[in-house]
Amino acid sequence: MQLIKNDKSPYFIFDCLSDFTEIKQFVTTRHGGVSNGAYSSLNLGFGTDDDKLLVLQNRHILAQSVNIPLENFVISNQVHGTNVAVVTSEMIGNGAFTRDTAISETDAMVTNAPNVCLFVMSADCVPLLFYDPVKKAIGACHAGWKGTIDKAPSATIKTMCNAFGSRPSDIFAAIGPSIGLCCYNIGSEVIDSALRSFGSTDDIIKFDIFNRQPYFDLWTTNKNVLIEAGITKSHIELAGLCTHCNNTDFFSSRYDKGITGRFGAGIMIVVRQ
Ligand SMILES: [Zn+2]
């Protein structure tokens, strides 16, 4: 990823997607907003207890920063599931200004319509962006431990294939900032679920030699899920930024003990070729 600085709010872009001039893509930081305290400062989540007017103001700041009108954003109410919405141009603005119009109970969205900015939010969970330069289709996915183990990224890819005729080998996938193996201490429910889903947890759950606690590797797991779904290894970018370690730049639910803001990742097709 590379950091884009401006006088609004700094944001990152993924290297693996940056050569495609027909799309815009970004990952936000927590800087440049107007929220205070635990939500300081660019909190983008209406689902938090932050002042909704400040969140809306933050979204306008983001829209200006990435130069995409807020009315072109599409946002869903994320529930740690594997539902994927196929977004059409009639749906632009859904969830952008108020939570009431957000796509319900959906953690991933895909589209081939231009000027539709798919936007997912996170605070430790994994935001993923997808682009198929052949069929000109995009996807965005939010995957916490549950969505990762239930293979929400794989469901996103399958939906791109079914809806737009994408081939997995053509798709580029970017794994955004999220809590790393270094900081993601987990309980037995995660181990049990991972074992049920993957059979083995040898390369994804590690025991710390000092505190003997289990730690979950969301990054490797998502990479494995993407490769299993047919994505080419060289088409995968891992941001490799731990939100817990980098809590001054990103919101981290674990670091802030649940009371924190949301950053996000977005992608939009600018022109149809
Ligand atoms: Zn960390």
Q: How far is the CA of 91 from the centre of ligand 1 (A)?
A: 37
Please report, for the chain, the start and end positions of each structural domain, with discontinuous segments joined by +: 2-269
Q: How far is the CA of 90 from the centre of ligand 1 (A)?
A: 40
> What is the CATH number assigned to the segment(s) 2-269?
3.60.140.10
What stretches in the chain show pLDDT beneath 70? 272-273
Encoding tokens for residue 252?
Answer: 């981290």
Q: How far is the CA of 179 from the centre of ligand 1 (A)?
A: 6
Q: How far is the CA of 240 from the centre of ligand 1 (A)?
A: 10
The amino acid sitting at 117 is C
Residue 272 has a pLDDT of: 54
Residue 271 has a pLDDT of: 77
Contacts of 13 (CB under 8 A, 6+ apart): 1, 2, 4, 25, 26, 27
Q: How far is the CA of 41 from the centre of ligand 1 (A)?
A: 21
Burial profile 108-119: b = 16 or more Cβ within 10 angstroms, e = fewer: bbbbbbbbbbbb
